[in-house]
Amino acid sequence: MKLPAPVSFAVGLVPALAAGWLLFPRLLYRTEAQPLPFNHKAHTEGGMGCADCHAVAENGRFAGLPATEACAGCHAEKGDNAGINALVASYVEPGREVPWLVHARQPDNVYFPHAPHVTGDKLACARCHGPHGESTATKAYVVNRLSGYSRDIWGPSIARVGRKEWQGMKMSDCIQCHRAGGRESACLDCHK
């Protein structure tokens, strides 16, 4: 039986597209577990803000993760929460830092200072990081096997369809906002 040309074309094209759009992304990314469970909502409901743990340093550079010392300010002893007990046993008592996997970590050649964005332009943290403060559990850390970059840099949708403004931290996402604000600038403003 000889199929009409458009049909035989489709018979080849459809599986190829399916493999490219559905199968390949699954192969491309690997999921890693965070070292500890963490409930942001439980902290923010208690009246804490982002900056209580993720502060911009005096030199304006890192809004990094809190040191174990900061956690130990409240969680110095074990209680009835398995996550807190794991924190105390594995990190607070031995005095180790928690090796969190950072979703927003950028490639090595990117220079991103928080101060001009957060202190200068008063952008809300959620503009780029999403409603992270309302999460009750740690999100799976998904990493690109080839580049080693977090999935959050690209965003959840491979085709970038229906992307919310905080989803994705690609260079094009930075540029989009910079252009909209008339802040188009030089390569080495954001690269090193």
d(CA 25, CA 71): 36
Terminal CA-CA length for the chain: 61
186 binds other proteins (CB under 8 A): yes
113 binds other proteins (CB under 8 A): yes
Stretch that binds other proteins, among 14-22, 58-66, 96-104, 160-168 (CB under 8 A): 58-66
Question: What single string gives the DSSP state of each residue in 52-74?
Answer: HHSPPPTTS----PPPHHHHHTT
Interface characters, 11-50, with other proteins (x: CB under 8 A): ----------------------------------------
Q: Find all residues with CB under 8 Å of 33, minimum gap 6, and list them.
A: 140, 141
Closest approach, Cβ 120 to other proteins, in A, equals 4
57 binds other proteins (CB under 8 A): yes
Q: Contacts with other proteins: how many residues (CB under 8 A)?
A: 21
d(CA 16, CA 97): 46
Closest approach, Cβ 96 to other proteins, in A, equals 19
